[in-house]
Amino acid sequence: MIRVLLAEDQTLLREALASILAHEDDLEVVGELSRGDGLVEAVDQLRPDVVLVDIEMPGTDGLTATERLHAHRPECRVIILTVYGRPGYLDRAMRAGAAGFILKDASPADLVGAIRRVVAGERVIDPRLAVATAEHGRNPLTPREREILALSASGATAADVALSLGLSEGTVRNHLSVAIHKLESRTKVEAARTAEERGWL
């Protein structure tokens, strides 16, 4: 029997997932969470084989929760289940230790199959997202470039960003210029929009 824990903040979807999995003879839902910040503790208590984790949850987002769980219990397999079909999210999920990345519009059969496959030691990635990732490649931005681009895109001036990060305005402008060039954009707003669409911010 494969023990499954559901970490999804939308009650209707979480209950639908539990109902789908309950129809499978080899799967058992051992618990449900609506927040990300209790994931490690729940896994310690319930000992699931697989956890289905949403990216956007209260408390702690799914990617951060996955990273913490993987460091604490690497034998527990995590499948990210999300509406965000962005290459950057896939890259971050794999680096966080996820064994699978499935979009929420996948069929029940695909989801059930993914659970069985990750327990068997495979990595499972939505094929549409794998194609998009191959097209766009990995995130070219450094952590500092992402930070500065995100702050700038929210309306902060170079002076504001410099003050908040303890940098000079010149350094901020240089990082922005490099980020804009890497993303083949003309402005910081366009660069931020591209990075956001690809899940790189």
Kind and range of the H or E run holding 7: strand 2-7
Query: Widest CA span of the chain, in angstroms?
Result: 62
**Degrees, nearest 5: CA angle 137-192-157:** 145
Structure tokens at 52: 């289905």
- Mean pLDDT on 163-174: 90
* This prediction's pTM: 0.70
d(CA 69, CA 43): 8
Evaluated on CA atoms 126, 132, 135, 140, the torsion sign reads negative
128 vs 18, higher pLDDT = 18
What pLDDT does residue 184 have?
82
In the chain, helix, strand, coil percent, each to 5?
A: 55, 15, 35
- Per-residue pLDDT tens digits for 103-152: 998 899 999 999 999 999 999 988 776 655 555 567 788 889 988 988 88
Contact 51, 39 (CB under 8 A): yes
What pLDDT does residue 132 have?
57
- Per-residue pLDDT tens digits for 78-101: 999 988 777 678 878 888 999 999
Q: What is the DSSP string of 162-192?
A: HHHHT--HHHHHHHHHHHHHHTT-SSHHHHH
